[in-house]
């Protein structure tokens, strides 16, 4: 495989996160599913914005957060996602470029509006996301720059992209280009509700080898294989993909290949503030490690380090340079 301009190219829903603290009874009162990503329409988005408390506005979106993490670690990253030519679209484009990610931006002309997610963080650090996809649903094969895909060691996309229909074609095209150029394709299952919606399609992506690497948390793994047994889930994912990575919060993570299973301990957290972006930053650390010749165990440790850093702050993007954090930890 030839050298690549980009370590990681990510594809996802380009979303501006609006983050506020909330109590559990607030979630109940406003019929918000806790610790999940809830898709909402423009009307509900406006209503939730009206009732939420003081908020932080920051560019987000799962795959964009991963690209930001790779760049913060000193890697080269690019991103495909759809925004509109409006205020939030400008915020998103500025933020992702400012952190050092190449953004192939072909914005819509104002309608539908750039996506936004109202995120309510409860005292236990869990985040409940309420997402209006807006411009995201317009991501299509026309937004796939074939030269950029061919020049990325790993192309990574989020399972959330399976909600808008045109994005499926875009992902399949990107995967075809990546494999034709000897590159790898990775995905994250995103959340267990997403897995419930697209279980068979996700399994087909894995079994057809459209996807080489899969990231999941424990709940997503169990949902994918409709089992209450973590061990059964691990056994199943070993059969279905070349490399599976399962995160387990305080219990660390498990890396599964056809031949081996590596259990990697979590890094202690001083203070859990907000779990937003934990899985995204774990993927960033792991993929950075992969593209820089690290062992699977060290990839998992670096992923854990990046995740630990981001959950000790508000917001899904690292507020410190992860390359410095990694160096201090001996990477």
SS (H, E, C) 63-106: HHHHHHHHHHCCCCEEEECCCECCHHHHHHHHHHHHCCEEECCC
Helix, strand, coil percentages (3-state) for the chain, rounded to 5, are: 45, 20, 35
β-pair type (37-39, 6-11)? unpaired
Domain boundaries in the chain?
6-328
Mean pLDDT score of the chain, rounded to an integer?
Answer: 93
Rounded to two decimals, the pTM is 0.89
Kindly report, residue by residue over 277-301, the tens digit of the pLDDT: 899 999 999 999 999 999 999 999 9
Kindly report, residue by residue over 215-274, the tens digit of the pLDDT: 999 999 999 999 999 999 999 999 999 999 999 988 999 999 999 999 999 888 888 887
Which CATH number is correct for 6-328, 3.30.2020.30, 3.40.1190.20, 3.30.70.100, 2.60.40.10? 3.40.1190.20
Q: What is the mean pLDDT of residues 1-25?
A: 91
**Range with lowest mean pLDDT among 7-11, 159-163, 260-264, 273-277:** 273-277
pLDDT at res. 1:
46
Kindly report, residue by residue over 107-134, the tens digit of the pLDDT: 999 789 999 999 999 999 888 999 999 9
Percent of the chain scored above 90 by pLDDT? 78
DSSP secondary structure, 25-50, as one string: HHHHHTT--TTSEEE--HHHHHHHHH
């Amino acid at each position: 495989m030839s050298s690549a301009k980009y370590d990681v190219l990510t594809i996802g829903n380009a979303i501006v996160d609006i983050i506020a603290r909330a109590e559990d009874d607030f979630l109940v009162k406003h019929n918000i599913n806790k610790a999940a990503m809830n898709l909402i329409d423009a009307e509900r988005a406006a209503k939730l914005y009206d009732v939420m408390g003081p908020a932080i506005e920051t560019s987000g979106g799962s795959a964009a957060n991963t690209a930001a993490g790779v760049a913060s670690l000193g890697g080269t990253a690019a991103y495909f996602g759809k925004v509109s030519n409006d205020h939030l679209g400008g915020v998103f484009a500025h933020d992702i470029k400012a952190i050092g990610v190449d953004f192939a931006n072909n914005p819509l002309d104002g309608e539908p509006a750039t996506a936004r997610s109202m995120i309510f963080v409860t005292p236990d650090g869990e985040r409940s996301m309420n997402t209006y996809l807006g411009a995201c649903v317009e991501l299509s094969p026309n937004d796939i720059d074939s030269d950029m895909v061919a020049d990325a060691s790993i192309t990574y996309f989020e399972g959330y992209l399976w909600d808008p229909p045109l994005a499926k074609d875009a992902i399949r095209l990107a995967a075809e280009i990546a494999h034709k150029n000897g590159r790898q394709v990775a995905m994250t299952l995103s959340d267990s509700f997403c897995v419930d919606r697209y279980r068979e399609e996700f399994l087909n992506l894995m079994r057809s080898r459209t996807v080489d690497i899969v990231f999941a948390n424990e709940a997503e793994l169990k949902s994918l294989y409709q089992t209450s047994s973590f061990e059964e889930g691990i056994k199943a994912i070993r059969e279905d993909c070349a490399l599976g990575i399962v995160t387990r919060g305080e219990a660390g993570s498990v890396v599964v290949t056809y031949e081996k299973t590596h259990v990697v301990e979590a890094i202690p957290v001083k203070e859990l503030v907000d779990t937003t972006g934990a899985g995204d930053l774990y993927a960033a650390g792991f993929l950075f490690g992969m593209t820089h010749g690290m062992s699977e165990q060290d990839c998992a440790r670096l992923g854990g380090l990046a995740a630990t850093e981001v959950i000790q702050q508000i917001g899904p993007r690292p507020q410190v340079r992860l390359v410095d954090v990694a160096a201090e930890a001996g990477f």
